[in-house]
Amino acid sequence: MAGRLLRPMRVLLDHGVPAPLIAFLEGHEVTKAKDAGWDRLTNGELLAAAEEARFEVLVTTDKNLRYQQSLEGRRIAVVILGKQQWPDVRPCIERVVEAVNSVVAGGFTEVDIPFSRPLRR
């Protein structure tokens, strides 16, 4: 079953991740980086702080994170969303939830999110 919760995890949402996602991550303990006071940390600092606070998953929209940071030896996993606007993410919510629910510590998972609305000219 797609999106099935295997076990509750501590999930951190980076500052670009749309807040409505929280309602779909049922069973997990979800915190926004801003609420933790971490919205101004660099990627490396954010990963270190999140891991120290025992977060198991970081959800971000920063596609460059996987090229800037190594997760080798880390206990945290990273889910990268292809877009940050809620109207684009919402139609792909099942794939996002499935990615969070099936993460592997020390790994990156990218969820491709196509535009769901016409581009303005």
| Model confidence pLDDT, tens digit, residues 65-74 | 889 888 888 9
Domain ranges of the chain: 10-111
Query: Which of 73, 35, 43 minimizes the C-alpha distance to 60?
Result: 43
55 CB burial (10 A radius; 0-12, 13-18, 19+): buried
Per DSSP, the three-state class of 30 is strand
pTM for the model stands at 0.89
DSSP conformation letters of 50-116: HHHTT--EEEE--TTHHHH---TT-S-EEEEES---HHHHGGGHHHHHHHHHT--TT-EEEE-----
pLDDT tens by residue, the chain, 121 residues: 345 556 899 999 999 999 999 999 999 999 999 999 998 999 899 999 999 999 999 999 999 888 988 888 899 999 999 999 999 999 999 999 999 999 999 999 999 998 766 666 6
